[in-house]
Amino acid sequence: MTEVFPTKKSLRVCIVVPCYNEEGVIGHSVAVLLAELSSMAAKGLVTADSYICCVDDGSRDGTWNEILQIAEGSDQVKGIKLSANFGHPNALVAGLFSNHHRADVLITIDADLQDDVSVLTRMLEQHHQGKRVVYGVRLNRKVDVLPKRIAAGLYYKLIRMMNDRTVRGHADFRSADATVIAELEKFGEVNLYLRGLFPLIGYPSAEVHYERLERHAGTSKYPYGKLMSLAWQGITSFTTAPLRMVFYIGLTMFFVAAGVALWIIWAAFNGNPIQGWASLALLLTTFSAINMVSLGIIGEYVGKIYKEVKHRPRYIIETNI
């Protein structure tokens, strides 16, 4: 059992906020987070020089200009501008890796503040009790439409079957101390799925539960297409179960084909040969479909290998203030 060492000293905290086209939203979000930092500092949970780092992930609007204006007016706000849109996970690690040398605890939260900032106090209390990672876990998804809630429920059940370390109901709202982030930096993989990597790293952890809120302004940057891509990334990044599934389907179809062959031979010997092309066409299309799906799954893994071996940078920082 891992020994836990509580701490009484105030912790310097960095809140990493990934931003993509958040003009008109980021100013409100930063103000709310600064107020929360001030409240926690008054309780002795965080130091007075705790700060926020906004990571502009190649926004096409005035997000970066707003970040610059906010940073000019507050020493507690810093900014990172990526040279292009590298994606939400890469924006998160850019903020984490750039700040873990100067903060004790790093928190990640989306700019829309649908994750309840009032639970930040509980997160920091867990760190003071010796926890190294604290996961923000949604109690429900009432603010999501019904199809999205159903799809999310099915996805988490599936991913838990493949990887039992997955934290159900957890997205990217979490806190981790600098040591954990330093360990995360050792993972050089390009195909990032942070929701799976943090449980994989280990260390004493805790969960805080909250109600997901309505978005303050703007629109979601995760349409269904991106959510499906994220779900597939989570499955293929942490398990080879789809490849095993291809093998089992192939084995099943082999026995089906053998059974059909025996049936045809038996019918021919009994003077009742199989007539018509419908059954043959059905078998051909079934096998063809299974082959194409199987090749697609295998191709997905080959594609991931292709991306990994090139060792391209996950992000490029254009400006760091």
How is the chain split into domains, by residue range?
A: 13-238, 241-310
Task: Give 13-238's CATH code, choosing from 3.20.20.70, 3.90.550.10, 3.40.50.2000, 3.30.70.260.
Answer: 3.90.550.10
More confident residue, 71 or 275: 71
Contact criterion met (CB below 8 Å) for 20 and 59: yes
Q: What is the pLDDT of residues 184-205, one digit of tens each?
A: 988 877 777 777 788 888 888 8
pTM of the model as a whole: 0.72
Does residue 4 carry a pLDDT above 50?
no
- Residue 304's pLDDT is 73
- Residue 116's pLDDT is 85
More confident residue, 256 or 63: 63
Does residue 161 carry a pLDDT above 80?
no
Question: Average model confidence (pLDDT) for the chain?
Answer: 79
pLDDT-derived band at 74 (thresholds 50, 70, 90) equals confident
pLDDT-derived band at 5 (thresholds 50, 70, 90) equals very low
The angle formed by the CA atoms of residues 175, 234 and 247, to the nearest 5 degrees, is: 150
pLDDT-derived band at 15 (thresholds 50, 70, 90) equals very high
- Residue 222's pLDDT is 52
Dump the DSSP string for 140-191: --TTS-HHHHHHHHHHHHHHHHH-TT--TTEEEEEEEEHHHHHHHTT---SS
Maximum mean pLDDT: which of 176-180, 272-276, 296-300: 176-180
In the chain, count H helices and then E strands.
Answer: 10, 8
pLDDT-derived band at 3 (thresholds 50, 70, 90) equals very low
Three-state DSSP state, 305: helix
Segment 273-278 shows an average pLDDT of 59
- Residue 40's pLDDT is 92
Spell 234-265 as b/e; 16+ CB within 10 A means b: bbbbbeeebeeebeeeeeebeeeeeeeeeeee
Min mean pLDDT across 59-63, 147-151, 254-258 is at 147-151
